[in-house]
Chains A and B, each alone.
Chain A
Amino acid sequence: MGLPPSMQVEESEEGRILTISVGPQHPGSGHFRLVVKVDGDIIVGADPDPGYVHRGEEKMCEYRNYIQNIPHLERPMIADSCGILYPFCLGVEDIANIPVPERAKYIRVILAELNRCIFELYWLGIYGIFLGHSTMFMWPMGDRELLIDLAEAATGARVTHAYFVPGGVRNDLPENFKERAIRQLDYFKHRLDQYKDIFYNNPLFLDRTKGVGVLSAQDAINLGVTGPVLRASGVKHDIRKIEPYDVYDQLDFEAYSMNSGDSYARAYIPLLEMYESINIIKQCLEKMPSGSVRTKLGPNPRGAAGESFKRVEAGRGELAYYLVSDGTPKPYRVKLSVPSFRQIPAMPHLLKGAKLADMPAIYWSLNYWPVEADR
């Protein structure tokens, strides 16, 4: 078997193919290199080269006990730190049979959705600057601060919260959290309407994304992509819906999908999801019971030997942890299946045949975060 078709370069006339190395200096979101071969301004082959920010998270996990693993596991994705920690906590609870109080489940969903918005605003800001729309860089970055303030009030830290723990959350919400959250979310919703006007309905944005980088549903499934990228291709696959965790099965929300599979759909779904996150957080604030927020654990919690595979829907898609326990307080093996890593095969697939000028619009619509992919 030779190279996969998306990576094969058909040699045309001698000397026509030019190889460009894009990166590894920070092309927008972390260190990552894309070796692009162009014939004129048409991309004839793209080869992703991750690994510049590999930190050995999985190896580090084997040296620390389950609780000590919490702070460093959120480092690969500080823009969505609750999202990346969530399945780890679910997995440890599964292995060690730790019950979770009802209130903690609601608080977790609130923080996970808040983090989804914080992450998607960050993503949107960079997408704006990738497409040369500097207002769309400034606005989300500014509005993100309001939501970060809210998360800070709950957790005590701006971005690296280390808030989720096996058995619940670290501390309860502050006293006036509900009123403050509703006020800020209402304002945020109003801002999202404005984003629609200035960015999503902007003819330049439409020109640069509609019909660009079309991924068919069949390819999306086969390549293993996930999250908004998969749903933009018309596959209704949202872990919150298909395999609800914590209290998602008691909430009324929509998991959006679109059929066009282009960069526009991949960029529009995050906007719809932010509206839906506001809806989810408000429902949780209403329904949340009172009571304890954390199951008291002894030192060094451990479970029987066995394994667990837990997954959640993070901002970028399905995030799963494969935990293997050998009965000691330290995990025997932790494998992170992160959405960014799963989007990599879609990159050469979509870039081949596209124009070089469309590269930013395709690359960033794939929701690829180098730091998370490298772990």
Chain B
Amino acid sequence: MSSHGGQPEEGSQAKAEAKPETQKPVEIPPLEKGIIEKITERFGDKIKFVYAKPKRIRFNVKTEDVMDFAKFLHDEVGFDQPISVAGVDYPKENIIEVVYHIGCCTKPEYTSSVFAFALRLPRDNPKTPTLIPVYRGVEYHEREAFEMLGVIFEGHPRLEKLLLPEDWADIPPLRKDFNIKGR
């Protein structure tokens, strides 16, 4: 686990450049546009819009806002079903991303959409509050991200090994600097 400076914000700039579709959102469909406007109205520039494709939206959120953001998304916008929590390691930018994918079961107009929001955490100290109080179902997903990428979810009731052996002594295996032997 190396740490050579690098702030989360610089990292997100670099990532935006790497993705051509994030720079010019050609035309955002009306449904997605409505959701985006609702959210930007409430959070302004605290959060960063990444992309909107048909039925897929993504925002980047800061650690200190994530709880409010999740509550707003759950209660006001109506995305209520936790689908997946994925950790992605970007050693070049010194970032670990935690991407929450949230679906919707109750509002018929949003059921086909998946809302993603990501936290970009510094790689040497990835810490973020757990979202169990808002999305009860992320409990095991967060435990998996903890053991596979070493992300600390503050306030999580059981941050312990889930899929890996209890005596796993190496670095978290889904970090890019963990290599499979012989490959």
Q: Which residues of A contact B (CB under 8 A)?
A: 1-4, 7, 50-51, 54, 56, 58-60, 63, 221-225, 230, 235, 237, 242-243, 304-306, 309, 311, 318, 320, 322, 324, 326, 332-333, 335, 337, 341-342, 344-345, 374-375
Contact of A342 among B99, B106, B137, B180 (CB under 8 A): B137
Considering only CB atoms, which chain B residue lies closest to A374 in the complex? B163
CA distance A306 to B56 in the complex (A): 13
Stretch at the interface among B1-9, B31-39, B65-73, B109-117: B109-117
Stretch at the interface among B16-24, B41-49, B119-127: B16-24
B164 touching A221 by the CB < 8 A rule? no
A341 touching B132 by the CB < 8 A rule? no
CA distance A375 to B86 in the complex (A): 14
Considering only CB atoms, which chain B residue lies closest to A304 in the complex? B20
Known: A224-B135, A304-B20. A51 touches B111 (CB 8 A): no
A237 touching B111 by the CB < 8 A rule? yes
Q: Is B59 an interface residue (CB 8 A)?
A: no
A333 touching B86 by the CB < 8 A rule? yes
B88 touching A324 by the CB < 8 A rule? yes
Considering only CB atoms, which chain B residue lies closest to A237 in the complex? B105
Known: A50-B162, A59-B173, A337-B84. A311 touches B114 (CB 8 A): yes
Known: A224-B137, A322-B84. A1 touches B132 (CB 8 A): yes
A63 touching B101 by the CB < 8 A rule? no
- List residues of chain B with CB within 8 A of the CB of A335: 84, 86, 88
**Min C-beta distance of B32 to chain A, whole Å:** 14
CA distance A63 to B181 in the complex (A): 11
- List residues of chain A with CB within 8 A of the CB of B105: 221, 230, 235, 237
A320 touching B137 by the CB < 8 A rule? no
- List residues of chain B with CB within 8 A of the CB of A237: 81, 105, 111
A243 touching B83 by the CB < 8 A rule? no
A322 touching B86 by the CB < 8 A rule? yes
**Min C-beta distance of A226 to chain B, whole Å:** 8
A242 touching B112 by the CB < 8 A rule? yes
- List residues of chain B with CB within 8 A of the CB of A235: 105-106
